[in-house]
């Protein structure tokens, strides 16, 4: 493993097999149904979660348990001196602050990195960290690189029903109440670590079209060197349509599909689609 360990939280939604292969450790967040807590991907699958949601059972969420995260870090091999901990945005969860607090509670140096986003864009940052760790970079070099990469990753998303974000308090109530805001399908994005509407658009199709237009402006040519991710919340048919469209528009890009798991699905609701991209330099 070497002396640097990579830790992320479960909202990066990296496949377990990928984490095992690349030695990535995962601190799970939880969903809470009727007072009972389920760690995502440990105690509840994404399928079981959406079944409960579609049946009208609405959960809340919570950040990883500090005690369990300390245990996870204490189980790392003795040679580990530094942990790079890449978390979801500090504007929507206390996970990043907990990672900072952890540094004083364990014997290794915990370098908390705020992805300022979540899900697949967060996973892109984890992949960058793996690449650098495997190339022999120091913890400081990895952190400096991640800061640069964070600025280059683009991500937008559209939800079917803004009520989920409003109920979870992750979208300003004032914004959601403006005019018929709840009746439209705004393109959403992260600004200063928080979720804000990027543009107010009437229909789902037009919102996705608007994101595609921004991609066409941002990605030059056939997509060579770009990673594109299409993320879905229990709407695989929308994802498949988007993946096909991206592969046609950017034939040389690396296009992959991901999902919004239980914790993020709680706040976005079924039917949400996210589109993210960045140019990989290796």
Of 8, 13, 20, residue with least CA distance to 263: 13
Query: Whose Cβ is closer to ligand MYR: residue 157's or residue 198's?
Result: 157
CA distance 181 to 179: 5
For residue 111, report the phi and psi dihedrals to the nearest 5 degrees: -100, 100
Of 157, 226, 277, 278, which lies in the binding site for ligand MYR, with binding defined by CB under 6 A?
157
Of 62, 65, 172, 175, which lies in the binding site for ligand MYR, with binding defined by CB under 6 A?
62
Q: Within 10 Å of residue 213's Cβ, how many Cβ atoms?
A: 10
Query: Whose Cβ is closer to ligand MYR: residue 186's or residue 274's?
Result: 274
Of 39, 170, 232, 238, which lies in the binding site for ligand MYR, with binding defined by CB under 6 A?
170
Does residue 14 contact residue 93 with C-beta atoms inside 8 Å?
Answer: no
Beta strand 30-33 with 36-39 is antiparallel
Q: Which of residues 245-264 bind ligand MYR (CB under 6 A)?
A: 263-264
The secondary structure of 41-91 as a DSSP string is TTTB-HHHHHHHHHTT---EEEPPPHHHHHHHHHTS-TT--EEEEEES-TT
> Interface with ligand MYR includes 154 (CB under 6 A)?
no
Q: Helix, strand, or coil here: 226? A: strand
Q: ∠ CA 89-133-86 to the nearest 5 degrees?
A: 10
Residue 220 neighbours by CB under 8 Å, 6+ apart: none
CB of 272 to ligand MYR, least distance (A): 8
CA distance 190 to 274: 12
Of 127, 274, 277, 278, which lies in the binding site for ligand MYR, with binding defined by CB under 6 A?
274
CA distance 221 to 251: 9
Query: Whose Cβ is closer to ligand MYR: residue 137's or residue 196's?
Result: 196
Residue least distant from ligand MYR (Cβ): 93
**x-or-dash string of contact with ligand MYR, 11-30, rule CB under 6 A:** ------------------x-
CA distance 37 to 22: 29
Query: Whose Cβ is closer to ligand MYR: residue 101's or residue 144's?
Result: 101
CB of 136 to ligand MYR, least distance (A): 31
Q: Which of residues 75-134 bind ligand MYR (CB under 6 A)?
A: 92-95, 117-119, 121
CB of 36 to ligand MYR, least distance (A): 16
Of 4, 14, 53, 63, which lies in the binding site for ligand MYR, with binding defined by CB under 6 A?
63
Query: Whose Cβ is closer to ligand MYR: residue 61's or residue 69's?
Result: 61
CB of 259 to ligand MYR, least distance (A): 11
Tokens of 90: 């500090």
CB of 89 to ligand MYR, least distance (A): 8
Name the site residues for ligand MYR (rule: CB under 6 A): 29, 61-63, 92-95, 117-119, 121, 155, 157, 170, 263-264, 267-268, 274, 276
């Amino acid at each position: 493993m070497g002396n640097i360990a990579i830790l992320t939280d479960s909202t990066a939604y990296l496949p377990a097999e990928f984490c095992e292969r690349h030695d990535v450790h995962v601190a799970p967040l939880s969903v809470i149904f009727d007072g009972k807590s389920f760690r995502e991907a440990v105690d509840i699958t994404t399928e079981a979660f959406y079944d409960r949601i579609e049946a009208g059972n609405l959960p809340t969420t919570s950040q990883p348990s500090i005690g369990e995260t300390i245990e996870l870090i204490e189980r790392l091999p003795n040679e580990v001196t530094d942990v790079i901990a890449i978390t979801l945005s500090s504007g929507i969860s206390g996970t990043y602050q907990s990672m900072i607090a952890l540094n004083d509670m364990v014997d290794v140096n915990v370098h908390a990195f705020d992805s300022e986003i979540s899900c697949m864009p967060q996973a892109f940052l984890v992949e960058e960290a793996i690449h650098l760790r495997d190339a022999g970079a120091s913890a400081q070099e990895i952190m400096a690189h991640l800061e640069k990469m964070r600025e280059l990753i683009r991500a937008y998303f559209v939800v079917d029903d803004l009520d989920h974000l409003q109920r979870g308090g992750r979208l300003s109530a004032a914004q959601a109440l403006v005019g018929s805001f709840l009746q439209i399908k705004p393109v959403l994005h992260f600004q200063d670590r928080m979720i804000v509407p990027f543009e107010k658009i009437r229909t789902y199709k037009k919102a996705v079209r608007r994101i595609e237009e921004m991609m066409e402006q941002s990605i030059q040519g056939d997509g060579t060197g770009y990673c594109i991710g299409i993320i879905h919340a229990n709407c695989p048919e929308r994802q498949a349509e988007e993946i096909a469209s991206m592969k046609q528009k950017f034939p040389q890009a690396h296009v992959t599909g991901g999902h919004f798991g239980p914790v993020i699905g709680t706040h976005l609701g079924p039917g949400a689609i996210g589109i993210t991209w960045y140019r990989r330099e290796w």
